[in-house]
Amino acid sequence: MSQLADLQLQLADLEQSIGMLLDTPPYAMAPGQRNDSLLALFKRELEYASECSPQFSNYVRHWPVSFAAADKIADLPYLPVSVFKANPPLSLVPASEIKRTLTSSSTSGQVPSRVVLDAATSRRLTKGVIAIIRDFVGAARRPYLVIDTQENLGRQSELGARGAAIQALGLFATEIVSCLHPDSQGEPGLDLEKLLACAAKWKEAEVLVYGFTYVIWTQLVQPLKRKGLALGMPNVHVLHSGGWKRLEQQAVTKDVFVRDVASVFSCSADRVIDYYGMVENVGVVYPDCARGYKHVPAFADVIVRDPLTLAPVQAGQQGLVQVCSVLPTSFPGFLLLTDDMGEIIGYDGCGCGRRGTHFRFLRRVPKVEVRGCGNLETTRQRRGSGA
Amino acid sequence: MSELIQRIASADEITFAAQRLRKTALEKDLTPRAVLDVFEQWAAALDGRGVREIPGVAFLRLWLRRGTLEPILLRELGPESLQSGWRDDGRARLRAFPLGVVGHWPAGNIEIQPILSLTCALLGGNSCVVRVPSGLIESTRRVMETLQEADRSGELTSRIFLASFDHSRADLQEAMAKSVDGAMIWGGEDAVSRVRALPFPHWARVLVFGPRLSVAAMDAGVWGERSERAAWCRRVARDVWQFEQQACSSPQTLFLEHGAGCDAAEFVEDLKAAFQEENRAHPRLEIEPALTSAICQARAAWLLDDVANRACFPQSTDWTILQGKGTDIPEPTQGRTLSVLVAADLLQAISQFDGTVQTLGLAVKDARREEILAEAAGRHGVDRVVRLGQMHVFGSPWDGTDLVRPLVREVRHARSQD
């Protein structure tokens, strides 16, 4: 059998196994059952990726423990998330099969991460997001209000994190309305007339709202508060993501944010849901449950590692978060060590009723402080040379 | 020094302290011989529990010995320098006087750097104001307690003011700069640039020891020799482990010159054993998560970048060996991450150095060949060429600069009546 045919068979086999996990209710599996099925599937994915990519194979071959012999997910070779800043992006498929490239929302001066999606991976990622969000807001389709500009709604071959998040939730929509528009300088501003028209039209209907946390605060909440307006939409679910750094700089706490968002929509605070997602782990999002924790769905896992030993820590201890997902096959994003610190709360039994691992993110790891007579980082960056 | 390290709140505290120190430095002689006498006793006091464990203190004990410092003084200041006093210079006479007060801005990554820096100024008879970085307060306090024990008369301690304040306090940084007659500035580019831009008096002599990296190199005659290889690997490991590989003298890359029949994989096996042994002796007890990320990134990027690249590392962050080929120095990672590159010709690798390389640690079989390599290194910006295993041995000159001579003024007296 040719190598190509062999790879296609492996992929079909993987597709079937991933599909079964995607069809399982995301938060219903017992931890032991989930670990067994994930470990076997991750091993097959690593084998498949190694055959697709000599570079990835080189990495896996040098891992201190043979993945074939590993008896737990934590022993499998993981990549640091920063490898997706490479250009060209890491890929397991030929360029002709890439349908879309997702880019992260990097802050100024930083190189964004990029992941490539083929059709099959793209489909799975969408199914993953739907399965998770459905569990939090229900399955019904409903009007979808996007706190962003129209340009992030369209299909593009290279899509930023904002656009990707907006479009993933579009599958819940009966109609989509964006309520920001560019002003004369091209800066986004609130289209108040349009927003008030939507509020009047949808009133007490179930409505899905999504926006980046910072955008919701600056472009929606603050302008409405200044005008003393409330939208009278008690049955919205407001999903937001994108981190708190810029709001923290303005001394806006999570409690204040939730209170004020709920106030402008006239909804209860539990309808404002923060979720964590990253482009490199696309297809898996982590909304806060009613207890304030993030839950791992059936097709994913989260490990928290001691920064010194890189061994998994016990529940209650803090460490670097590793995210794991069986969904991608077009890029090696199965097992990724993030630059975020987190804490496992428990491996089952959250008070919200969802089963499995629940955890919380704590903070982004700060960049290494530039210090010391041996630190040439800034010199070299300015020269633009790797020497 | 009632409080060994003063927490500074206002600029006046620094200004007043500097005025007092200047008076002491300029009114009362402090001969190099007297300094060396106290340093000898200080070296002995550094052997106590709680002090000797501080990284670099073992070296500091050697540094403070008369046998180390006398040759430096003789070379930098001349044969009569130990007594102080005037010396004849033809029909005139010469004498070294201290600058007055020397300000020290040590880097935050080397525990003993505040101490090393101030010893240079004391040898010139100066007083010292030292800004102790926040991460080094405890280690500096413990080392300075031993100086208090050794210096009963207070001859040296009366000339030292240790200050602690946030590096972002521009008013305090400026007050310190305005108060000094000389400065020793150590650290990374940003830190050095910030301090250098402070309003020093126009007469102040400012010595800057900015960011550098260091490289090791072995010729095939050494690394291909199995019987000697393990010993050389232990020396490499020692150089990598010191100061968490954050010092400017820390090797980031080891070049192995290609040799017929020499197997780099075999060498890496020996180096791995040496790293494991060094790690058992000196395990890392904590790490910044950002460094963990950088180490993981270095491992992955190296192996993903080129399928011919090899690497060797444990599951933890303890150490990393990245093996490949070439003459370019890869981006340094620090955190005990060493790139081992097979190069066709060491001379070619050294000829590509661009002035960022401070120290070249060498292990070369043939002495004539070593002279050629040292010559090339000097021409390409290297300031120190030393034996592998001794890359961190602090000495004069450092970064191509004398350590004591720039901190004294040579005063010439031509007699009016002859």
Per-residue confidence (pLDDT) for residue A370, from 0 to 100: 38
Phi, psi of B301, rounded to the nearest 5 degrees: -60, -40
Per-residue confidence (pLDDT) for residue A5, from 0 to 100: 84
Q: Please report which confidence band the pLDDT of residue A384 belongs to, taking 50, 70 and 90 as the band edges.
A: very low
> Between B309 and A139, where is the model more confident?
B309
Q: Do A374 and B307 lie within an 8 Å CB cutoff?
A: no
For residue A314, the 8-state DSSP code is: P
The answer to whether A360 and A321 are in contact (CB under 8 A) is: no
The residue count for chain A: 387
The answer to whether A144 and A169 are in contact (CB under 8 A) is: yes
Average pLDDT (A190-207) is 86
Per-residue confidence (pLDDT) for residue B87, from 0 to 100: 87
Q: Measured between alpha carbons, how far is A217 from B384 in angstroms, rounded to an integer?
A: 56
Q: Does B337 touch chain A (CB under 8 A)?
A: no
Q: Which fold has domain B5-210+399-414?
A: Aldehyde Dehydrogenase; Chain A, domain 1 (3.40.605)
Per residue in B123-133, pLDDT tens? Answer: 999 999 999 99
Q: Which fold has domain B213-387?
A: Aldehyde Dehydrogenase; Chain A, domain 2 (3.40.309)
Domain boundaries along the sequence of chain B: 5-210+399-414, 213-387
**Encoded tokens for B169:** 């306090």
CATH number of A123-276: 3.40.50
| Amino acid identity, position B120 | C
State chain A's mean pLDDT as an integer: 86
**Which residues neighbour B37 within 8 Å (Cβ) at sequence distance 6 or greater?**
none
The residue count for chain B: 418
Per-residue confidence (pLDDT) for residue A154, from 0 to 100: 66
Q: Does A375 touch chain B (CB under 8 A)?
A: yes
Average pLDDT (A326-355) is 93
Per-residue confidence (pLDDT) for residue B358, from 0 to 100: 94
Alpha helices in B261-356 (DSSP H): 264-281, 289-305, 346-351
- Highest-scoring range by mean pLDDT, A110-114, A218-222, B294-298: B294-298
Q: Please report which confidence band the pLDDT of residue A158 belongs to, taking 50, 70 and 90 as the band edges.
A: low
Q: What pairs with residue A240 in β-bridges?
A: A211, A274
- Give the DSSP H or E segment for A287: strand A286-287
Q: Do A375 and B211 lie within an 8 Å CB cutoff?
A: yes
Burial class (CB in 10 A: 0-12, 13-18, 19+), B159: buried
Residue A79 has pLDDT above 50, yes or no: yes
Contacts of A343 in chain B (CB under 8 A): none
Residue in B188, B286, B297 closest to A373 by CB:
B188
Q: Please report which confidence band the pLDDT of residue B241 belongs to, taking 50, 70 and 90 as the band edges.
A: very high
Query: What is the number of helices (H) and of strands (E) in chain B?
Result: 14, 16
**Encoded tokens for B33:** 């011989």
Per-residue confidence (pLDDT) for residue B418, from 0 to 100: 67
Q: pTM of the entire structure?
A: 0.87
Q: Which of A27-31, A116-120, A341-345 has the lowest mean pLDDT?
A: A27-31
- Give the chain B residue nearest A381 (alpha carbons): B331
Q: Does A308 touch chain B (CB under 8 A)?
A: yes
Q: Do A64 and B248 lie within an 8 Å CB cutoff?
A: no
- Highest-scoring range by mean pLDDT, A81-85, A103-107, A278-282, A379-383: A81-85
Per-residue confidence (pLDDT) for residue A387, from 0 to 100: 21
Q: Please report which confidence band the pLDDT of residue A380 belongs to, taking 50, 70 and 90 as the band edges.
A: very low
Contacts of A373 in chain B (CB under 8 A): 107, 109-110, 186-188, 209-212, 246-248
The share of chain A scoring above pLDDT 90, in percent, equals: 40
Chain B: closest CA distance from residue A66 (Å): 12
The answer to whether A281 and A132 are in contact (CB under 8 A) is: no
Per residue in B18-40, pLDDT tens? Answer: 999 999 888 888 989 999 999 99
Q: Which of A226-235, B62-71, B212-221 has the lowest mean pLDDT?
A: A226-235
Residue A296 has pLDDT above 70, yes or no: yes
Average pLDDT (A77-100) is 90
The answer to whether A43 and A67 are in contact (CB under 8 A) is: yes
Other C-beta atoms lying within 10 Å of the C-beta of residue A368: 18
The answer to whether A149 and A179 are in contact (CB under 8 A) is: no
Chain B: closest CA distance from residue A331 (Å): 13
Average pLDDT (A30-57) is 91
- By three-state DSSP, how is residue B142 classified? helix
Q: Please report which confidence band the pLDDT of residue B316 belongs to, taking 50, 70 and 90 as the band edges.
A: very high
Q: Does A155 touch chain B (CB under 8 A)?
A: no
Of the candidates B290, B289, B295, B288, the one whose C-alpha atom is nearest the C-alpha of residue B333 is: B295
Chain B: closest CA distance from residue A97 (Å): 21
- ipTM score of complex: 0.88
Per-residue confidence (pLDDT) for residue A244, from 0 to 100: 75
**Which residues neighbour A182 within 8 Å (Cβ) at sequence distance 6 or greater?**
A149, A188, A189
Average pLDDT (B54-76) is 92
Q: Does B116 touch chain A (CB under 8 A)?
A: no
Q: Do B332 and A55 lie within an 8 Å CB cutoff?
A: no
Chains A, B: CB contacts within 8 A come to: 158
